[in-house]
Amino acid sequence: MTKLNWAGFSKKTLPERLEHISRSGLLSTATDRLLKENQQLPLETANQMVENVLATFSLPFALVPDVLVDGKVYQVPFVTEEPSVVAACSYASKLMKRYGGLTTTVHGRQMIGQIALSGVSDMEKASKAILDQQAKLLALANQSYPSIVKRGGGAVSCRLEPLAAEDNHFLVFYLSVDTQEAMGANMVNTMMEALVPELERLSGGQSVMAILSNYATESLVTASCRLPIRILSRDKKEAKRLAEKLVLASQLAQADPFRASTHNKGIFNGIDALVLATGNDWRAIEAGCHAYASKDGGYKGLSTWTFDSQQNEIIGQLTLPMPIATKGGSIGLNPMVQVAFDLLGQPNAKELASLIVAIGLTQNFAALKALISTGIQSGHMKLQTKSLALQAGATESELPLLLPLLSKEKHVNLDKVQSILEKIRANKYS
């Protein structure tokens, strides 16, 4: 693999960027060709993946270069429709890399399945009967999905919880499963359904449902960073003021669900982009993480930022459930997902989960840094303007004249872009 300088990557043209990737040696001959030919999901494959297919639907596939996580540098593929997300994450990761990047801890990697039993007349007796048969139940679960046991995974443990809901009582059985490199929805659902008859027999109740939970609290990952406050400004006084403001921004997201929702949306700008690029189920990740944001009873910001005034450092932390997969599901069907995994250096599921949470914290830092200083509009709108120009029908050759004119405008909307474009076309600016 060739060690390349990624500085100035954003200033390259599209052919130059592709050439740079080729020279990096990250891609195989096959994936390099897939990327250069912009090979999309074949219609025949799409037709096998979901129902009632009519066509395929494309999104931009971009790169956030040089992200330093746990001492390793990654070139990170992003799939997103939103301008400034890639730029912001690239900008923040470039800054963070100078100061050691991010570190992560994987606290676990197990999926949870649940069977809710209703109509249990004696909760205590039923719980005892089930817990006495734990070993048998784990064996039954594993027999229903032997291939995961061969791969070194399988059902690991179980627990029970009595729950009251309105005028009903449930006895909920939870199973923890080591799903190895897969997200494991199929695997866990098969195991849960296999356990239903035995659990109904032991409890005397009836199963309401048997299903995987997306609240993957046994797949938690923490990403952290510790950065000198000069990352916020070269001016010492201003850097301290911004560090204090960053803490306020973090506290606001803990106290106000209106802010927490936007704060977390900023985190998911990066997370979803990488989850999508790797062909993973982003609804599962979003659902689990938003449930985690409410774990203390109210919806809160997922990341926190503190200021160590002794060391003059800001400390960022983000913990999320991240049951990501590198195998299974539709991974491998989309040619661009193969490119994504090669760009990332073929990480395993734990490494990919770490990188995704680290990207969430990086993206959050970029947005907060802008919000507490210049405001979001200057950087975001500069890039959003290009999108508006394209929506207004500007051609590539008109952009070099149009964009500088738009940058002089205080407020840019589609009408404004169209009126300037008309003037350009009427030669009023030449």
DSSP letter (8 states) at residue 321: E
CB 98, min distance to ligand HMG, A: 12
Q: Is residue 301 within the footprint of ligand HMG (CB under 6 A)? A: no
CB 299, min distance to ligand HMG, A: 15
Q: Is 404 exposed, middle or buried (0-12, 13-18, 19+ CB in 10 A)?
A: exposed
CA-to-CA distance for 366 and 372, rounded, in angstroms? 10
Q: Is residue 404 within the footprint of ligand HMG (CB under 6 A)? A: no
DSSP letter string over 66-79?
EEEETTEEEEEEEE
For 411, the enclosing helix (H) or strand (E) is: none
The residue ranges of DSSP E strands in 166-311, in sequence order, are: 168-178, 206-213, 220-228, 303-308
Q: Which stretch binds ligand HMG (CB under 6 A): 156-164, 214-222, 240-248, 262-270?
A: 262-270
Q: For residue 141, give the nearest of 118, 160, 157 by alpha carbon.
A: 157
Token representation of residue 45: 């494959």
CB 88, min distance to ligand HMG, A: 3
Burial code (b: 16+ CB inside 10 Å, e: under 16) for 277-298 equals: bbbbbbebbbbbbbbbbeeeee
Q: Is residue 263 within the footprint of ligand HMG (CB under 6 A)? A: yes
Distance (Å) of CA 207 to CA 151, 169, 244: 30, 12, 52
Q: Which stretch binds ligand HMG (CB under 6 A): 7-15, 194-202, 305-313, 337-345?
A: 7-15
Q: Which residues are tagged catalytic?
A: 82, 265, 281, 380
Q: Is residue 300 within the footprint of ligand HMG (CB under 6 A)? A: no
Q: Is residue 234 within the footprint of ligand HMG (CB under 6 A)? A: no
Token representation of residue 371: 């919000």
Q: For residue 386, give the nearest of 54, 76, 47, 87 by alpha carbon.
A: 87
Q: Draw the binding track, 352-381, toward ligand HMG (x: CB under 6 A; -: no contact).
A: --------------xxx-xx----x--xx-
CB 62, min distance to ligand HMG, A: 8
Instruction: For ligand HMG, give the closer residue by CB, 92 or 191.
Output: 92
One-letter amino acid for residue 133 of the chain: Q
Q: How many CB atoms lie within 10 A of CB 86?
A: 24
Judged by CB under 6 A, the residue of 10, 133, 224, 418 near ligand HMG is: 10
Judged by CB under 6 A, the residue of 31, 75, 80, 90 near ligand HMG is: 90
Q: Is residue 109 within the footprint of ligand HMG (CB under 6 A)? A: no
Judged by CB under 6 A, the residue of 80, 269, 338, 362 near ligand HMG is: 269
Q: Is residue 7 within the footprint of ligand HMG (CB under 6 A)? A: yes
Q: Is residue 86 within the footprint of ligand HMG (CB under 6 A)? A: yes
DSSP letter (8 states) at residue 39: P
Residues near ligand HMG (CB under 6 A) = 7-11, 82, 84-88, 90-91, 94, 262-263, 265-266, 269, 366-368, 370-371, 376, 379-380, 383
